[in-house]
Each structure stands twice: as C-alpha cells, then as structure tokens.
Amino acid sequence: MFAVCLALIAAPATAQQRGSISGKVIDAGGLTLPGATVTVVELQTGLTRTAVTAETGAYQIVQLDPGTYSVNIEMSGFNPYTVASVVLTAGMEYVLNAKLALAGVHEELTVTAAVPLVERTSNKIGGTLSGKEIDEIPANFRNFTALTQLIPGMTPNPAQSSFEGGQVVANGSPAISNLYLLDGQYNNDDRLGGSQGSQVRVVLDNISEYQVLSNQYSSEYGGGAGAIINMVTVSGTNKVSGRAYTYYRDDQFNATNYFVEKNNAAKPKEHTSQTGFAIGGPIVKDKVHFYGTIERDKELNAGLKIFPPAAAPLAVTQEGAFEVLVHNYFGRSDVQVNDKNFLSFRWILEVAPTKGENFNTNTAAPDARSWESDWDQLFGATFTSVMTDRASNVVRVSRVSEQLGTGVQSNFSVVDSEPWLLGQAGVKWTGFNGRDPFTIGPQNVHPDYITGLGGTGLNTPMRTYILDDTFNYFVPKLWGGEHTFKFGGGYSKNGSPTRYQTDTGTFTFRKNAAGTNANGDLPFDPANPLSYPVQFDIAVGPSDPTGWVLASRDDRVYTFFEDKWRVGGKLTYNLGIRYDHQTQTPADKSNFAPRVGFVWDITGEGLTVVRGGWGRFYSYTPISVDLALQGGAIRTPFPTISVTASNDPGCLILCPSVTTDTAGNKGVAILSPAGIAELQRRRASLLSGATFSTEPRLDDPNRKMMYQDSWSLGLSRELGGNAAMTLDYVGNISRNQFGLIDINEPNGAGVRPGVAVFDPTAALIPADARSTNFARVLQYQTNPAFDGDYQSLQFGVIRRMANRWSGRLAYTLQRSHYTGLGAPDARRVWLDNTPGVDYGLFQSNRTHVLALSGSVNPYKALTIATVVSAISGLPINETTGQDGNKDKDTNDRPIKGIDDLTLPILSALDSQGRAVINGMQGPKSVGIDVSFRYQIPVPMGLKSLDLFYDVFNITNNVNYTPPTGNRGSALYNVFTAAGFPRQMQFGARVRF
C-alpha cells in the first residue's frame, strides 16, 4: 500500500539500470507448466531470488543488478533445468524459455547461455559497454566520455583532461538535455544540465558497465530529451579483491604540437599522473558486501597560444598551462536483508581545484587566467522489496551537492595543502575579501585577447534532494498476452541556496574592422588615443565583504505509467505516458509525454527483430535561468553601471590610469583615482533609491518546458552467433524551445523603440520603472522560431569475443538545425525582431561520425586494443566583429554588397544576401588510439601484475581546432591551435 501511495505523488527520473529474467516453462509436448519454481543466484555475491510460474507457465524476475547469474527451474515429476551462467547487463530484459523433461527420461539438463546480441522485447536505441571493454579500450585521460562515440547516434566532444566531463551530443539535441545517472540514481548538474557531463565524476576503475540510451527509452526515464547515460559501478563479492594502479604520461614521450614546431617554440611542459586503490569483498558472506576506491590525479596540460603582433607585450605567443589536482573517493555497500528485501548505498566525493582551466586553448593572457575550486558529492540509498512473485517495489533517496567557485584570480587565495577528504585545496574562493571592487582592478577585453587581474566571479552551491518510487506488477494473462506494468513517481528539491557573485569591472576596447589596422589589440597607452577603451561596465551591489547573494529553488515532480505487452512469442508493445512539472516554469502544467513502441521478433528466436516507436521527451529548465532572471531583474539588487563616451563627459572613467601586468609589461588599463571616485558616487546614487536595471532580463509569462518529439524505425539482426548489426532511422523535432530576445531592439538608425512600444499594456515593466531609459531588454521567450529538427541514419555492429578478437562499429549520418547560438538557457540571435533569420545548421552538428574499436588476444597474456574515429568538422559562424545594427551585440553576419568590398564572404547567402548562420565548415578530426596490456601472473595470492602502454593519436594527425569566424580579428579563418599530438601513457596495476 505504501508503494501505491508514494507512486501517486508526482525529480528527474532516477531510471532503472536493473535487468530482468523472464520466460515460459513448458513440457516436452509444449504444454505450459504452472507451479514450477525458478531460482536465480548471482554467482559472485550469492544474492538469491525465486519465483513460481503462473497458470500460463510464464515467470518474471525483475530488479536484478547487472551480474552473472545461474538459473535453476524445478517442478515435481520433471528433471531440473539449469543454466549455469547468464550474464545480465544494465537494463537487459533476458528471455529464457525452458522445456522440462519427465523425471526418469533424461538426467538434469544443464545448458550454457550466451548474452543475447539482439533485444527481443525493447525498442530502446543505445548500447552497453561491458567491463572488459572499459578495461581494454584506450580512453584518453581515462575519461568515460571518450567511450560514448562507440554508440550510434552519439557525437562526442571529449574532455581535455581526466577530471573534466566533456560534452556529448545525442541525436542532434543540445548537450544540456542529457541526463547522467549513477547506478540508476540522478547525477546531473542542475545549473548546466548534462552539458558538462555528470555532476560528480565517476573514475574509470569504478565503472563495471557503461549504459547509453540514445533514443526511444520508456516513460520511466525523463528529465532530459537527450541521452540517458548510466554508469554501473563495481560491486563487492564473496571474495576479497581489489587493485592498486598508476598511470603516467609526460611531454618527453609525446610528439611536439604542430604549432609549437611551426613557431619554433619550446616544447611545453606537460605531465599527468593518476594513482588509485580499490578494494571490495564480503562483510557477511552472501549477505553484505562493500567496494571502495580512492584516486588522485595531478595534471599539467599545456598548449601554445598564438596572439597577433599588435597585442605585444601583454599577449605574445606563449605556452599556456592548465593545472589540475583532484582527489576522488567512492564507496558502495549492498545488503541482502532476506530473500525479499535488499538495501544498497552509494557515495562519491571529489575535490577538484584548478588553475587556468582552458588556459591552454583560450585567448586569456596570463593575468586573466581563471581559477576554480570545486567540491562535489553524491549520496544515495535504495530499498528494493519483492512483495510477491509478481510484485516488487523500489524506493530511492539521494542527495547531490556541489560547491563551485569560479572566476578571475582576484577572487581566490592559494592553499598549499593536498585536497584530502573534506579539506580545501589548491585554491580557495574568497570573493572581494573586504575590498572595494573598484580598487581591485578591471578586466581588459581586447578583440583577440583578455588581460588584467579583475573581472567576474561566482561561488555557487548546488543542493539536490530526491525521493523516487517505482512499482512493478506482472500479469501473465490479460488481453491476449503478458503484461509488465510499471508505475511510479518522484519529487526533487533542486536549488542554489546562497550563490555569491562578484564583479570588478571590464574595460572594452575598440573592435577591429576587417581590412583595418588592429588598433583594438594595442596595449593601453595614455599617449595614444586609439588605444583607449571605449566602454566600461560593472555590476554593483550592497556592501558585502564577500560578494552579492542570490538564491534559487526549483521543485520538480513527475509520475509515469508503462505497460510492456507481449502478444504471443514474437510481438511486444511498449506503451507509456509520463507527466513532468517544475515550479520554475509555473505557467506550464500540461507536460504529458506519451510513448509508443513495438518490437517484432520475426522468427521468434531472437535472431531478427524490427523495432520502432514514437515518443515525447521533456527537458527540465536549468536553474541558471532563474539565477539570471534574479540578477538581471528590473528592480535589480545588482544594477550595472555602463559607461561610454556619451555618459562620461569629463572622461573620468574612460581615461584610465596605466599599470603593468604581473610580468612587468606596461599597458593594462585600471581606474584612475578620479574614475574610482566617480564610480563610487554613481554607485551610492544607484543604491540609495530604486535601482532599476537599464538592461534587464525578463521572463515570458507563458514560458514552457522544452520538449522533443522523436521517432525511429529500425532493424536488429544477429550475424553468425557472435555478432549483430543494427540499422535505425531516427528523427526528431524540438518544440517549446526558448532563447533570449531583445524586445527593445533598435531600428535601422540605432534608435530603440522604448517601453511604450515593447510593453504597451504595462504587463512587463512596473509603473515606477517606465521612465527608465532602457537599452537592451532581453526576454526569455518560448518562440516557434527557436524550434529545431534532426534526421539521421544510424548503423552499428558489435562482435563479442570469439576466436581471440572482438569489436564494435558505430556510424551516424546526420543533419541538425536550430535557431541561434548558445545553450537553450542563453540562446541568442542576430536580428531579434526576426529571429527566424538565424535558423540554420546546429552549432554542434557533425554530419559524419564514425568510430571503430577492436580488441585482440594474440596469446593469453597480451591484449591489443584500438579505437579509430573519424568525425566531420563543426560549423563556424562568420561574423563581422562589429555592431552594425547598434544593438550592443557583435554577432552581426556579413551582408553582400556591404561587407564584402575588401574581403569575400565565405558562407552561403540567404535570399537577402546575408551570410547564413554557421555557414563555414570547420576542420574534420581523425584519430587512432592503441593500447597494449600484458598480464604477468603473480604469486602470494595476487591475481596479476598488468602493464599498460597506450598511444593516443598514434599517427600524429593534426586535428585543427576551428578558427575564429570573426572577420574583424587578425586571426580570422586562421588555424592557431590543434588537438593533442601523439601522446603516450604508461601504466601498472596489481590485482588481488
């Protein structure tokens, strides 16, 4: 009764990673056998489950963790039927039909079952990588996102270090729409969605299986319209076992980067060391088990940064270093209370301070290098109850948290200690630290580089609390078939309780017009008027020694119902409906998501199936939208002071003082004493009364949750017993998409229409603020112009290990379109009055994505594995680098007859002669990674000593980074950076 009541409450789905074993038991003549006892035992942990066949001879055992099981079927008067080993992977629905012989006619029948390569009852599209594949396939920086490319429909943008999440685009959906799970429990970032990987990173040695559902998943899964990515962790067994390992790479073993050689520069210093220890085993045999790990990563990633000559000496071609020091902890415990009730617990903690994230690739000069302090933690508990042979229930509770400080160096202090368990490490976020922000120093933003110690910063806590319940019920005979009903619901409290933000100001220098001298890149020189800044911006707030505080809370509820309806032995219907709601989209209460799918097992033997379906998938809006709305509210707590020549008549602010950077190079603009005094006066005036923002962010009262309608039709076919192929057409349309529209967009003469035009009914701007001279007024809008679409053909082949080799192939041919640039929570367009002009190729579209992997054992102790990838380039957006329509944005695209007089337009043109969005083609990427592993038997109770030698990009291919499409940049369409050259990694692991 508790389960039914809880399921009626309506958190992102903590979706099921567990599998099931089901089938039908008959006698030699084909008659069904009700009352037979089916017993499954997990061979490593002793977990035992039983069920009795129904009147139709059918049985079903659900909620089984991934593992290796024996299955025994017994009935009085018949010989026992035993399957010695069934390997159950995450989410697998294993069908095992048995024919029992009369007692005395034959002895007990024992068979061996291979893992089925074709799913007979599910139309979901995706795949699962086994622990063996994870162990053998080379993954750069040992980051799990590198494995995602082996699943059709998935387009990776791999991480550039071991601790970063990396981006994954699934079926043309923005990465923010992905949902990450840990053993079926929520592990997403509520601030950024799935755009940067999981909230708490899972190290590779903790993952026993890697499950990816890219499309057509059931109504149990929700909260995102992208991929469901579930990491199944290693569990303890009845034997104490573990591993100690270390991996190392250093620049002396790596090839030299192409641009380092081209510029005759010294080879940058780089090294990575990853060391860890894992142990698991029984606490009480067959009842209670544990598994835990600790890993330490230390990295120095460097790259050559190329700047135009005009930027010297503040920004010269130089080595950029990115420093990482990470500690990751994991613990898991599983308890079999009795044969009907089971408990499990999961915990992860990661402390990850960094200095200079992305500094090896971005345009920041050394003083503008950003720092980060990051503390992430997940705790979850699951209670599984088997009520009857037909009914079971799962309750989950979890907490996901983060404390993230980011921004310029002036927000941090240095901490020399190691980041052990709960300690602060490397860097510590301090914010203003009692200082007046005007005195700290502003950031200097030039067209091709950034310098200065100042700028913005954030210290963001994230807290998510989740309660989730799922109830299963098996009906062996109803409406001409078998039904597995599943229904449930959940609630989550998601938010950022006290987020601090800081701003010390930004000087912006003049833009570089195509074909002119690069004056905007000149260091500031009081004697040269062309080097002066043209704008100063700073957010100000009430006096606070640390920063200014915001808070955000989002309550999310969902409920679902689904029915797996098997008709006969060949046809299965997967039917479901889901409802989602979140308080941060209060006007949207009709988010019902029906899903319909079918699977036709043509022969009834699981060799060839036709599958297809249609479904609606909603995505939760990240709380970054609410935080942005609060910070940019009309009655803002943090108004912005924006200074241009028109409101700085005495040139008190835009005629700054000059100082040196930390290396002693002169040319950094800072506020003069007169400028500081003037800004202090303006701040006091602003904060003394009603502080109305002149550039507010407004919400759309009718803003809705984004969703995607997706459909597929495909074929899965077993090939020769050890291989299978899949071929699927997948399409989708994205609706209720939203972005930011400037509703006060200026006309052709640069004049903004004003509040009487963009808000004639006073629905948006209150009466006491309507006299404000508004500039840009950005409104989050659910607008049909932002809708997207996607079409693809996805092909995959998998061959399990046989005759000493295994392999995979994944190929996707795809095309995706959206309107505007940026993630959905910050999407912008060029012409706000006609946003449809920005409909075009999706900024993350890669037309061809090909990945192959293989593993071969030339002899028992040696394993050689490889991954080959070939990916089309990303599109590049061609812009003028100027604000031609005077809307304060520099995302204008060139127009024929106006902007091509000295420089041709490389993009295709629309009917009005305007360059289309993302109209330039970026460079492709090709890579071959190879891993060699040699196992040496070790005495004294140890299993083996494993030696690793990995080579990434073994052909040393130059994979260029897309160049800037800014025609005003001195580096327009010029390659200045490339991906990693050939790199080597050495490793050793002791298993016991």
Closest CA relative to residue 792, chosen from 808, 761, 813, 771: 813
What pLDDT was estimated at residue 11? 43
The segment with the largest mean pLDDT, out of 210-214, 560-564, 633-637, is 560-564
Tell me the average pLDDT across 425-430: 80
What pLDDT was estimated at residue 518? 52
pLDDT classification of 802: cutoffs 50, 70, 90: very high
Residue 353 has which token pair? 């301070």
Of 1-10, 385-394, 720-729, 890-899, minimum mean pLDDT range: 1-10
The neighbouring-strand residues paired with 727 are: 715, 795
pLDDT, the chain, mean: 91
What pLDDT was estimated at residue 107? 60
What pLDDT was estimated at residue 730? 98
Strand-pair category, 608-619 with 506-509: unpaired
Q: Can you tell me the distance from the alpha carbon of 266 to that of 287, in angstroms, rounded to the nearest whole number?
A: 59
Beginning with the edge strand found earlier in the chain, give each strand of the sheet holding 697-698 in spatial order: 697-698, 778-782, 738-742
pLDDT classification of 681: cutoffs 50, 70, 90: very high
**Residues 824 and 738 sit within 8 Å (Cβ to Cβ):** yes
Tell me the average pLDDT across 338-357: 92
Q: What single-letter DSSP state applies at residue 530? A: G
Tell me the average pLDDT across 550-561: 96
Closest CA relative to residue 355, chosen from 281, 403, 299, 311: 299
Residues of the chain with CATH 2.170.130.10: 125-233
Upstream peptide bond of 313 is cis (omega within 30 degrees of 0): yes
CB atoms within 10 A of CB 287: 16
Q: Can you tell me the distance from the alpha carbon of 807 to that of 809, in angstroms, rounded to the nearest whole number?
A: 7
Region of 897 on the Ramachandran plot (φ > 0 left; ψ -120 to 50 alpha; else beta): left
Measure the CA angle with vertex 803, ends 802 and 804; round to 5°.
Answer: 90
pLDDT beyond 50 at 3: no
pLDDT beyond 80 at 825: no
**C-alpha torsion angle, residues 825, 840, 167, 135 (rounded to 10):** 150
Residues of the chain with CATH 2.60.40.1120: 11-111
The CATH H-level (homologous superfamily) assignment of domain 11-111 is Carboxypeptidase-like, regulatory domain (2.60.40.1120)
pLDDT beyond 90 at 607: yes
Burial class (CB within 10 angstroms; exposed 0-12, middle 13-18, buried 19+) of 72: middle
What pLDDT was estimated at residue 767? 94
Q: What separation, in Å, do the N-terminal and C-terminal C-alpha atoms of the chain show?
A: 46
What pLDDT was estimated at residue 243? 96
Q: Which residue has the higher pLDDT, 820 or 142?
A: 820
pLDDT beyond 50 at 797: yes
CB atoms within 10 A of CB 127: 22
Residue 894 has which token pair? 């060139």
pLDDT classification of 631: cutoffs 50, 70, 90: confident
The segment with the largest mean pLDDT, out of 128-137, 513-522, 808-817, is 808-817
What sign for the dihedral angle of Cα 774, 778, 784, 789? positive
**Residues 853 and 867 sit within 8 Å (Cβ to Cβ):** yes
Q: Can you tell me the distance from the alpha carbon of 533 to that of 510, in angstroms, rounded to the nearest whole number?
A: 7
Written as one letter, the residue type at 992 is F
| Segment 941-962, tens digit of pLDDT | 789 999 999 999 999 999 999 9
**Residues 633 and 693 sit within 8 Å (Cβ to Cβ):** yes
| H/E run at residue 854 | strand 848-859
What pLDDT was estimated at residue 458? 93
What is the fold, at CATH topology level, of the domain defined by 125-233?
Ferric Hydroxamate Uptake Protein; Chain A, domain 1 (2.170.130)
What pLDDT was estimated at residue 8? 35
What pLDDT was estimated at residue 91? 87
**Residues 172 and 790 sit within 8 Å (Cβ to Cβ):** yes
**Residues 388 and 367 sit within 8 Å (Cβ to Cβ):** no
Percent of the chain with pLDDT over 90: 74
> How many residues does this entry show for the chain?
992
Q: Can you tell me the distance from the alpha carbon of 861 to that of 171, in angstroms, rounded to the nearest whole number?
A: 39
Q: Which residue has the higher pLDDT, 986 or 881?
A: 986
pLDDT beyond 80 at 940: no
**Residues 293 and 278 sit within 8 Å (Cβ to Cβ):** yes
Written as one letter, the residue type at 50 is T
What pLDDT was estimated at residue 14? 46
State the pTM of this model.
0.90
What pLDDT was estimated at residue 685? 86
Tell me the average pLDDT across 329-344: 96
Percent of the chain with pLDDT over 70: 95
pLDDT classification of 165: cutoffs 50, 70, 90: low
pLDDT beyond 60 at 13: no
pLDDT beyond 50 at 327: yes
Q: Can you tell me the distance from the alpha carbon of 122 to that of 218, in angstroms, rounded to the nearest whole number?
A: 9
Residue 516 has which token pair? 């002119």
What pLDDT was estimated at residue 9? 35
What pLDDT was estimated at residue 113? 66
What pLDDT was estimated at residue 423? 47
pLDDT beyond 80 at 638: yes
Of 252-266, 433-447, 656-670, minimum mean pLDDT range: 252-266
| Segment 73-117, tens digit of pLDDT | 999 989 999 999 999 998 899 999 999 998 875 566 676 667 789
Tell me the average pLDDT across 455-468: 95
pLDDT classification of 4: cutoffs 50, 70, 90: very low
**C-alpha torsion angle, residues 839, 841, 843, 849 (rounded to 10):** 160
Q: Can you tell me the distance from the alpha carbon of 564 to that of 574, in angstroms, rounded to the nearest whole number?
A: 5
What pLDDT was estimated at residue 194? 86
pLDDT beyond 50 at 440: yes
What pLDDT was estimated at residue 6? 36
Residue 108, classed as helix, strand or coil, is coil
CB atoms within 10 A of CB 310: 20
The whole-angstrom distance between residue 81's C-alpha and the CA centroid of its chain comes to 45
Tell me the average pLDDT across 875-902: 93
Tell me the average pLDDT across 633-653: 90
Of 203-207, 542-546, 560-564, minimum mean pLDDT range: 542-546
